[in-house]
């Protein structure tokens, strides 16, 4: 019957058009043949306005986190906006100490964007969600006219369960605590920059985008006294440490030579006049832990594939000004300020 | 000290720039002085990567729903993207039968957008959240270059608690059930169209944007046997009914003259060649309820200020083809198909 006829979605040569966002027959088809097909899970498959989900266990609290993703380019060495939007939100849930359980995903598509590329993004997203064990249970799709968007924007929201008695927060750092990082700094941001600028070294630097909840679970088991976890994304390590210092009302002293940075990242930063401490990461952790458990925490990080380059990089000190300082290779000390202005637009 | 100096946000003459999305000092300032100031609540104020929230009561399940909002223009008669993004997501949680509890909000801002207008949007959003009793507990802010966005896009995700034993779903409609709507059809879409086209009648048609959880609570108390609730947004009543018919594997027969449509909306639709059954609503409900409880449900809707024009518009019938049909004023019957193609881009 004519009324029910719809041409199948042309995932090879088709392009996003306004009808994909109109909420009618063509929208339903896009959800069915692309999104729901790849994200497949019982809550999403029900096809209702919201997903019905089991609540967390007794005594547990919820953790909710959200991020919009507007990275450009959409595909970069080591990842794409699809897996990035899964990893980024899982990480914000996981650094609160919670087990990530569910994701929502809302898409803003630009008219004319190739469906084939959208399909690659959705597949990557579905793979990341599957590997992390955190399904996309509900979604939304809107389309804006050509020139009013930029290909694909994805907002994800994550929901997790926080075990009773666990409190991780940026306000928990105390003088004497050790500061650790789970690996090398600046890989994600420099992978994007290299791709954008078509630099000669572009194939050598790869984004670190990864879901950190497995690493965090291992860390918290070995060192349950951990006080602060945070993922040093936009603004880099420098800004994340300043946030924690402000929230806790403490100072920090870092050892410059202890901070792990890949040689190629260092070289690329040099070339572009950037400081790796301000460059975004998407698969790294900052850990603040009482000094007496620092070595146990470090060992736990290093025992995980995502933490093999973990390092102890400094300590929390008393400082009413909440300054972050760094001891340089030459024995001097300088201030490490927040990122000011805009260094690398649309890095995530 | 220089390192800590930041000019205060110029909310009168300032504009969004890329540094507002860079994750550094200026981003933190925008969140503090604009977003967190208006959304203020303990979970958000903690300033961590995710919000820590009490879990729902024993036996309850969770409901999670998300929508991206890309409405154009951003301000329209009866509302703006701010309150719309709160209402829309609350409604998707509430139509599942859940008590809406928390919202997340992620913003994609276009470089150059006036901060004063952004502030109006955030204030409207905060007011809507406060009036609904559903706080914005976590957020995100990204900025894209001029010409890569369109002022402001807002994605909201809602979380609610579903009482034990309650099951509302599009797949629950059964032959013999009555179909109700909570009020007039097409007000939101025609308010946007009138504004866009600067039509003469533009001041008379006002969006119906509203949070429906209060109305729904009253309805479910009076008629706990309600089987399906849905908000007929994009695609309008016609598309929403087709979705339910498909999910439940049933047909529907509607009475054209029973469907409430405001006179001005009807006239505006006539003028633009639109059918009010395909025009979006943002504060209306579709209800499927066993016939024996239809009058109780209707009375409960009408007893609420948001349901004063509620009407019984048709019934569920057996039909393996899941066709929606309508009896016209002249005694004939015609098919009511899904919205096909694109009628009103960026209506929400
Ligand atoms: N990109 C997507 N990925 C996964 N599921 C999606 C996606 N877009 C929509 N969905 C799912 O499709 C169904 C219909 O979504 P739709 O957005 O039309 O509903 P709605 O939010 O009630 O309507 P509106 O967006 O007009 O308010 C929902 O179950 C939703 O979770
Ligand atoms: N528009 C907003 N409204 C309300 N709160 C916001 C908004 N934008 C950011 N926030 C809050 O500000 C804090 C910092 O957010 P930010 O996005 O910098 O953290 P993040 O997600 O960990 O970093 P990234 O976005 O780089 O991954 C969080 O507590 C977040 O909830
Ligand atoms: Mg984040
Ligand atoms: Mg974070
Ligand atoms: Mg939706
Ligand atoms: Mg919706
Ligand atoms: Mg809905
Ligand atoms: Mg964020």
Domain extents in chain B: 46-162, 178-335
Mean pLDDT of B218-229: 98
Pairwise CA distance, residues A328 & A280, whole Å: 21
User: For a pocket test of ligand 2, which of A63, A70, A92, A154 has the largest count of ligand atoms closer than 8 A to its C-beta?
Assistant: A92
pLDDT tens for each residue of B241-265? 999 999 999 999 999 999 999 999 9
Tally of CB atoms within 10 A around A72: 17
- Token pair recorded at residue A139: 């979604």
Cβ neighbour number for residue A37 with a 10 Å cutoff: 14
Please give the pLDDT value at position A14: 97
Averaged confidence pLDDT in chain B: 95
The verdict on ipTM greater than 0.95 is yes
> In sequence order, what are the residues at sequence separation of 6 or more whose Cβ sits closer than 8 angstroms to the Cβ of residue B291?
B176, B177, B178, B315
Q: Answer whether B63 sits within 8 Å of A70, measured CB to CB.
A: no
Q: Which residues on neighbouring strands pair with residue B289, listed in sequence order?
A: B178
Lowest average pLDDT, out of A213-222, A292-301, B225-234, B338-347, goes to B338-347
Q: Quote the distance between the C-alpha of residue A217 and its chain's center.
A: 17
Torsion of CA A40, A43, A48, A53, to 10 degrees: -160
Rounded to an integer, what is the distance from CA A223 to the centroid of its chain?
Answer: 23
User: What's the half-sphere exposure (Cβ side, CA atoms, 13 Å) at A10?
Assistant: 8
Q: Which residues of A touch B321 (CB under 8 A)?
A: 1, 4
User: Which of B6, B62, B244 to substitute to test the interface with A, most A CBs within 10 Å?
Assistant: B62
Question: Do the beta carbons of residue A167 and residue A226 sit within 8 Å?
Answer: no
Alpha-carbon distance of A106 to A137, in angstroms, equals 11
Distance CA A87, CA A105 (A): 12
Q: What is the pLDDT of residues B57-94, one digit of tens each?
A: 889 999 999 999 999 999 999 999 999 999 999 999 99
Average pLDDT over all residues of chain A: 95
Choice among A117-131, A163-177, A334-348 with the minimum mean pLDDT:
A334-348
pLDDT of residue B202: 54
Backbone phi and psi for residue B178, each to the nearest 5 degrees, phi listed first:
-95, 150
How does residue A2 score in pLDDT terms, banded at 50, 70 and 90? very low
Copy the structure tokens of residue A341.
Answer: 């202005």
**How sure is the predictor about A7, in pLDDT bands with cuts at 50, 70 and 90?**
confident
pTM across the whole model = 0.98
3-class DSSP string for chain B = CHHHCCCCCCCCCCECCHHHHCCCHHHHHHHHHHHHHHHCCHHHHCCCCCEEECCCCCCCEEEEEEEEECCCCCEECCEEHHHHHHHHHHHHHHCCCCEEEEEEEEEEEECCCEHHHHHHHHHHHHHHHHHHCCCEEEEEEEEECCCCCCCEEEEEEEEEEECCCCCCCHHHCCCCCEEEECCCCCHHHHHHHHHHHCCCCCCCCCCCCCCCHHHHHHHHHHCCCCCEEECCCCCHHHHHHHHHHHHHCCEEEEEHHHCCCCHHHHHHHHHHCCCHHHCCCCCCCEEEECHHHHHHHHHHHHCCHHHCCCEEEEEEECCCCCCEEEECCCCCEEECCCCCCCCCCCCC
Nearest chain A residue to B62 by CA distance is: A53
Write out pLDDT tens, residues B261-292.
999 999 999 998 999 999 999 999 999 999 99
CA distance A305 to B73: 49
Protein residues with CB under 6 Å of any ligand 2 atom: A 67, 88, 92, 233-234, 348; B 23, 31, 35-36, 39, 44, 47-49, 105, 107, 138-141
Contact (CB<8Å) B69/A159: no
| pLDDT tens by residue, A276-309 | 999 999 999 999 999 999 999 999 999 999 999 9
**B209: Cβ–Cβ under 8 A, 6 or more apart, which residues?**
B78, B79, B83, B84, B87, B88, B188, B282, B283
CA distance B209 to B324: 26
| B136 strand-pairing partners | B103
| A288 CB near ligand 1 (under 6 Å) | no
Q: Give the whole-number percent of chain B exceeding pLDDT 90.
A: 91
What is the number of residues in chain A? 348
Alpha carbon dihedral B3, B5, B6, B7, in 10-degree steps, equals -150
**B104 vs A65: CB contact, 8 Å cut-off?**
yes
pLDDT at A198: 74
B81-117 as b/e, with b when 16 or more CB fall inside 10 Å? bbbbbbbbbbbbbbbbbbbbbbbbbbbbbbbebebeb
Domain A46-162, architecture per CATH: 2-Layer Sandwich (3.30)
Q: Which helix (H) or strand (E) holds A76?
A: strand A75-76
CB B259 within 8 A of CB B186: no
Superfamily of domain A178-335: PurM-like C-terminal domain (3.90.650.10)
Q: Which pLDDT value is given to residue B201?
A: 59
> Which residues in chain B are closer than 8 Å to A233, comparing Cβ atoms?
23
pLDDT band at B1 (very low <50, low <70, confident <90, very high): very low
Please tell me the predicted confidence (pLDDT) of residue A3: 44
Chain B CB contacts of A102 below 8 Å: 64
The two tokens of residue B162 are 């579903």
Q: Are A282 and A225 in contact (CB under 8 A)?
A: no
Residues forming beta bridges with residue B252, ordered by sequence position: B316, B324
User: Do you find a cis peptide bond into B73, omega within 30 degrees of 0?
Assistant: yes
Is the Cβ pair B61, A67 closer than 8 Å?
no
- Contact list in B for residue A56 (CB cut-off 8 A) is 55
Contact present, A338 and A242 (Cβ < 8 Å): yes
What pLDDT, on a 0 to 100 scale, did the predictor assign at position B203? 65
Q: What are phi and psi of B288, to 5 degrees?
A: -115, 125
Of B131, B181, B213, B214, which is closest to residue B281 (Cα–Cα)?
B181
Nearest residue in chain B measured CA to CA from A59:
B55
Q: What is the mean pLDDT of residues B144-154?
A: 98
Element holding A316 (H helix, E strand): strand A311-317
Pairing of strands B51-53, A61-69: antiparallel
pLDDT of residue A1: 34
Of chain A, the percentage scoring pLDDT greater than 90 comes to: 91
Task: Quote the CA–CA distance of A202 and A268 in Å, as a whole number.
Answer: 9
The answer to whether the CB of B232 falls within 8 A of the CB of B286 is: yes
pLDDT at B2: 40
pLDDT at site B343: 72
Please tell me the predicted confidence (pLDDT) of residue B81. 98
Taking CA atoms, what residue in B is nearest to A63? B52
Nearest CA-CA partner of B270 in B181, B339, B186:
B186
For the stretch B322-347, pLDDT in tens is 999 999 988 899 999 999 877 789 99
Look at the alpha carbons of A305, A311, A317, A320 in this order and tell me if their dihedral is positive or negative: negative
Does residue A137 have a pLDDT over 70?
Answer: yes
DSSP A202: T
pLDDT at A136: 98
What number is the average pLDDT over the span B151-168? 98
Shortest distance between the Cα of A235 and any Cα of chain B, in A, equals: 5
Residue A50 pLDDT greater than 90, yes or no: yes
């Amino acid at each position: 019957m004519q009324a029910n006829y719809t041409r199948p979605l042309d995932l090879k040569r088709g392009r996003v058009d306004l009808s994909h966002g109109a909420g009618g027959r063509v929208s339903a088809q896009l959800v069915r043949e692309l999104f729901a097909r790849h994200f497949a899970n019982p809550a999403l498959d029900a096809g209702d306005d919201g997903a019905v989900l089991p609540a967390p266990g007794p005594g547990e609290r919820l953790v909710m986190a959200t991020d919009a993703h507007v990275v450009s380019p959409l595909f970069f060495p080591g990842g794409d906006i699809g897996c990035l939007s899964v990893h980024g939100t899982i990480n914000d849930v996981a650094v609160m100490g919670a087990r990530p359980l569910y994701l929502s995903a809302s898409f803003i598509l630009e008219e004319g964007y190739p469906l084939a590329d959208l399909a690659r993004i959705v597949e990557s997203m579905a793979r990341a969600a599957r590997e992390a064990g955190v399904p996309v249970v509900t979604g939304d799709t809107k389309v804006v006219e050509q020139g009013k968007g930029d290909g694909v924007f994805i907002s994800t929201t994550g929901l997790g369960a926080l075990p009773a008695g666990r409190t991780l927060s940026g306000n928990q750092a105390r003088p004497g605590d050790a500061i650790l990082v789970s690996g090398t700094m600046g890989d994600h941001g420099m992978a994007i920059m290299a791709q954008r600028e078509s630099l000669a070294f572009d194939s050598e630097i790869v984004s670190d985008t990864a879901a950190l909840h497995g690493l965090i679970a291992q860390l918290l088991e070995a060192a349950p006294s951990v006080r602060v976890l945070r993922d040093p994304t936009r603004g880099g390590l420098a800004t994340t440490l300043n946030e924690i210092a402000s929230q806790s009302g403490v100072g920090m002293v870092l050892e410059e030579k202890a901070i792990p940075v890949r040689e190629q990242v260092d070289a690329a930063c040099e070339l572009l006049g950037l400081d790796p401490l301000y460059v975004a990461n998407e698969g790294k952790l900052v850990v603040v832990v009482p000094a007496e458990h620092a070595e146990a925490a470090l060992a736990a990080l290093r025992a995980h594939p995502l933490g093999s380059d973990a390092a102890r990089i400094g300590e929390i000190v008393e400082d009413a000004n909440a300054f972050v300082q760094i001891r340089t290779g030459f024995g001097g000390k300088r201030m490490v300020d927040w990122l000011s202005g805009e260094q690398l637009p649309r890095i995530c």
